[in-house]
A and B are shown apart, each in its own frame.
Chain A
Amino acid sequence: MIDIADLAARAYAPLLTIALVTGLAQAALSRDLVKRLLGAAIAAIAASAGLAALTRSDATLVGGATAASLVMLGGVALGLALLVRVREGFGGVDAGGLRLAEDADDRAERGE
């Protein structure tokens, strides 16, 4: 019979590593800002979980792991709020389209 607890205890490191790497890759490479935020959030969750797992032997670090999770949640909330404002301001969240719109704003600012 499979011992789920034992499996989880042995599998958390590769799982968290995969989540961290795929999340970061998504945050860096995706053209869609929603996917970028999702990727960054997944990476942050994986890192917070990894921190909690690797420091679980030291009870004094529980507060630190909790604070890391709270900062991550704050960052995701701020990102969501900004995403809404980007969509309102530009009418979309595609990175390529945003770059073109920003270039047009830059040119208008320089009077070209």
Chain B
Amino acid sequence: MNTLEFLWRHADAWLLFGPLVVGVVLTAAPAGRIANAIAATIACGVAALSVALVARLLGGATLASVDPLGAGAVAVGAVVAAAAGTAALALAPRDFPRRTRAIALGLGLVLIGAALGAMLERDLLRMVLLLQTATLAGAALTGLTLEQDRRAATAAFGAVIVALGAGAVALSGVALLHAASGASLDITQIAARIAAPGGASGAWLGAALLISALAAFAGLAPLHAGVASSASRVAPAFAPLVAILLRMAGFIALVRVFGATQAFAAAELAQAFAYGVAALGAVSLLAGGLQAIGATDARRLASHALTAQFGCALIGLAAGGDDGLIASLFVAAAGAMTALALIVGAAAARADGGASPMTTLDGLGQSHPFVAAAITISALGMTGAPLTASFLGKWLSIEAALARGWFWAAAAIVASSFAAVFVAGQIVERLYFRNRALAFKVAPRTAYALAPALAVAVLATVLFGWNATAPLDAARMAASARTGPAAP
């Protein structure tokens, strides 16, 4: 067996344990100057492996340990991780003293490994434990910045409460599902058991608890206040991990569990779950959209915008059918890329690190024209403007909602897009029609080092808005791996 074949067969283990083990080693034994290079290499290696994985699966290859849904989600997540890893090359030395820096990079790798593992995992207990681990690593990362900003301590504390509280609810759900179905904790086996007549007894409560907890991990409204605080307080280099990757892991886990609930033999029960998830989506869509308007911090704004995108994705998911699931995955991935561009762009806008109040965007069009252009494209992506990837995602979601007769859901998506237009207008006005505050200075070297992350986010937003064949194929492939039957 050659090296590539060995990598391929054990891709799931590499994606989970590679970053996790190196992260633990870096945290326990800080590696000084080379820590940055190690973290960036691991993050980029994971991204290359996950993209190769999707390409091979699309080419018709099969792999027992990784399903297409996990592979597609991990590819998006790993690209976010690689963007954070390369951004950290420039930003981590600015934001942390040397010893703390290695610990921060180690915690970042732990978060990457645990989050990617949770996306791949089909065993419910391991999925929940990995999500808890990733959330606690994110809390510790946020807490590391409290020397510069005391508000980081309260944001990190909030994340710990979410990890413990949501973890407790999720574990209760897992235990109930196990006891009710009598199956192992593999989501596919549980779906098969609950599809049998009488299989719903007790399992519905376990599934409801699990979905509620996963909504908290994904930062969906009304449980999203903590994720916005963490996103705005964590060091800028690691904001993509806390604000995007961690939440995507929770969202993909929710997609898997929701798929299983559609297998309930009692059709009205499956229907109830679909309505519940759609309602969660509508609340997230509206709350995220409205809170983005009032956001006073750029990273907080990106977090609220992602909440709205996840809400749109949930509506597509709940509407059912392969088209709904494809729409859901496409919207979530597009939302991740627009949030990435905004978060990294905001990091480039300040020479001295720290938080990213909206005033840091003022006058960026003159001082950093390329960064300003990237943020503008990200803002257009948030609105779902034509020729951006979000446009197709929102369009597909609206189609899925209308096909189900959910006019209220389609109206919520349209209303959220109007709110996003208002937010995008605010951003463009700040970028091009205000003077730059001298206090923020310019940071040409930092901005240059952030170029790869910005370029990936912008290219994904624009190219997949122009030609979406590849991501749609990946989403179709992922939809084929659903854990339950399509909703009617």
Bound form: Cα–Cα A54–B176 in Å: 7
Whether A106 contacts B296 by the Cβ 8 Å rule is: yes
Report if A43-B165 is in contact (Cβ < 8 Å); known contacts: A54-B179, A55-B178.
Answer: yes
Select B161's contact among A37, A98, A102, A111, beta carbons within 8 Å. Answer: A37
Whether B133 contacts A40 by the Cβ 8 Å rule is: no
Whether A43 contacts B154 by the Cβ 8 Å rule is: no
List, in ascending order, chain B residues with CB within 8 A of A40's CB: 160-161, 164-165, 168
B298 interfacial contact with A, CB 8 Å? no
Bound form: Cα–Cα A72–B126 in Å: 14
Report the minimal beta-carbon distance from B246 to chain A, rounded to whole angstroms: 15
Report the minimal beta-carbon distance from A59 to chain B, rounded to whole angstroms: 12
Whether B160 contacts A78 by the Cβ 8 Å rule is: yes
List, in ascending order, chain A residues with CB within 8 A of B174's CB: 51
Bound form: Cα–Cα A55–B174 in Å: 10
List, in ascending order, chain A residues with CB within 8 A of B125's CB: 51, 61, 64, 68
Report the minimal beta-carbon distance from A78 to chain B, rounded to whole angstroms: 5
Bound form: Cα–Cα A82–B150 in Å: 11
Select A89's contact among B126, B146, B160, B178, beta carbons within 8 Å. Answer: B146
List, in ascending order, chain A residues with CB within 8 A of B192's CB: none
Whether B156 contacts A82 by the Cβ 8 Å rule is: yes
Report if A74-B161 is in contact (Cβ < 8 Å); known contacts: A20-B172, A64-B126, A110-B359.
Answer: no
Of listed B126, B150, B185, residue having the most chain A CB within 10 A: B150
Whether B146 contacts A24 by the Cβ 8 Å rule is: no
Of listed A60, A71, A110, residue having the most chain B CB within 10 A: A71
Report the minimal beta-carbon distance from B325 to chain A, rounded to whole angstroms: 29
Report if A24-B165 is in contact (Cβ < 8 Å); known contacts: A48-B171, A50-B175, A85-B153.
Answer: yes
Report the minimal beta-carbon distance from B263 to chain A, rounded to whole angstroms: 21
Which residue from chain A places its CB closest to the CB of B223 in the assembled complex? A28
Report if A67-B129 is in contact (Cβ < 8 Å); known contacts: A28-B165, A75-B164.
Answer: yes
B163 interfacial contact with A, CB 8 Å? yes
Which residue from chain B places its CB closest to the CB of A24 in the assembled complex? B165
Q: Scan residues 135-191 of chain B and give those whose CB is less than 8 A from a CB of chain A.
A: 136, 139-140, 143, 146, 149-151, 153-154, 156-157, 160-161, 163-165, 167-172, 174-176, 178-179, 184-185
Q: How many residues of A contact B (CB 8 A)?
A: 47
List, in ascending order, chain B residues with CB within 8 A of A47's CB: 167-172, 175
List, in ascending order, chain A residues with CB within 8 A of B128's CB: 68
Whether B355 contacts A102 by the Cβ 8 Å rule is: no
Q: How many residues of B contact A (CB 8 A)?
A: 41
List, in ascending order, chain A residues with CB within 8 A of B150's CB: 89-90, 105
Whether B355 contacts A109 by the Cβ 8 Å rule is: yes
List, in ascending order, chain B residues with CB within 8 A of A89's CB: 146, 150, 153
Which residue from chain B places its CB closest to the CB of A52 in the assembled complex? B175
Whether A72 contacts B167 by the Cβ 8 Å rule is: yes
Bound form: Cα–Cα A86–B160 in Å: 13
Whether A86 contacts B154 by the Cβ 8 Å rule is: yes
Select B164's contact among A27, A55, A81, A111, beta carbons within 8 Å. Answer: A27
List, in ascending order, chain A residues with CB within 8 A of B184's CB: 58, 60
Which residues of B line the A interface, CB within 8 A?
125-126, 128-129, 132-133, 136, 139-140, 143, 146, 149-151, 153-154, 156-157, 160-161, 163-165, 167-172, 174-176, 178-179, 184-185, 296, 355, 357, 359, 437
Q: Lowest 3 A-B CB distances belong to which pairs?
A: A89-B150, A47-B168, A40-B164
Q: Could you give 13 example pairs across A and B, Cβ below 8 Å?
A: A20-B169, A28-B165, A41-B164, A44-B165, A53-B175, A54-B175, A54-B176, A55-B175, A71-B132, A75-B164, A78-B160, A89-B150, A105-B151
Which residues of A line the B interface, CB within 8 A?
20, 23-24, 27-28, 33, 36-37, 40-41, 43-44, 46-48, 50-51, 53-55, 58, 60-61, 64, 67-68, 71-72, 74-76, 78-79, 81-83, 85-86, 89-90, 98, 102, 105-106, 109-111
